[in-house]
Amino acid sequence: MRHSDEYLEVRHSRARGTSRLYQQTWLPDTAVRAVVLLVHGLGEHSSRYTHVARHLTDCGFAVYALDHYGHGKSDGHAGFVERFSVYLDGVAALLQKIRDERAELPVFLLGHSMGGLIGTAFLIDHQDAFRAAVLSGPAIESDQAPPPIVMAIVRLLSALLPTVPLIQLDASGVSRDKNVVTNYINDPLVHHGKLSARLLAEMSAAMQNTLARAGDIELPIIVMHGEDDRLTSPAGSDALIEAIGSADKTLKTYPGLYHEIFNEPEQDAVLADMSRWLETHL
């Protein structure tokens, strides 16, 4: 597996200014058969997917990923985003890089957690750029989301005090593997603080809008979710797969698995399920 990295200059479409986003690429040692655009989750960063990239490159896929605004090695304020569209701007820049370098190859989207939400929202207006999509534990609903009356207060705070910190993710819900949780907690590139009112409000609105428009998605898609996920609700994946307009759609659930299905003790089987599905859509 070969690796390279750089920074992308991204101009925001609905927010102020530009950002430098850290981007990395993993290439197989053999000929590249297709490209996977990987979109990571909330609070983490793309380097946590090196083992996923290794599995995919062994199958002949090139993997392109970036650290979202406010995440990992990228510009921005951790736990905050001015507009959810900032994340979509990053994916658009990454897709353009793929088109510039691998225009002749089919492209698949792989999004985990908030990356699943970002990816789904991006697909609604850009699905023609992709052959198919894989969503892992997409953040369509969250068991950690505040109740509606509290969300009304969050939206008010988002307008008046957008950077005020409100809630923190429960690291123990990441995986049943204690080593994964320990590494997550000790990772200096993971955001361990609270999430801002603006980020929570923007994510909540994106969840509702994305689910409402999911019927426009018609490309092949598989949604994979751990049944014991406490961070994003499996019910959200049920609702998403029901709403998606594609004739080729699959919901694959894993009994007993937590949120990061690619970091569970059963990860080899999960990764194999994913790559087999990608193979059938090459």
Annotated catalytic residues are 113, 229, 259
Q: What amino acid is encoded at 223 in this protein?
A: V
For residue 1, how many other CB atoms are within 10 A of its CB? 14
Q: State the Cα torsion 54-280-94-86 to the nearest 10°.
A: -110
- For residues 56 and 50, give the distance between their C-alpha atoms in angstroms, rounded to a whole number: 10
3-state secondary structure of 72: coil
> Token match 């859509």: residue?
281
> Token match 């937590």: residue?
258
- For residues 147 and 78, give the distance between their C-alpha atoms in angstroms, rounded to a whole number: 24
- For residues 149 and 145, give the distance between their C-alpha atoms in angstroms, rounded to a whole number: 11
Given a contact cutoff of 8 angstroms between Cβ atoms, the answer to whether 275 and 56 are in contact is yes
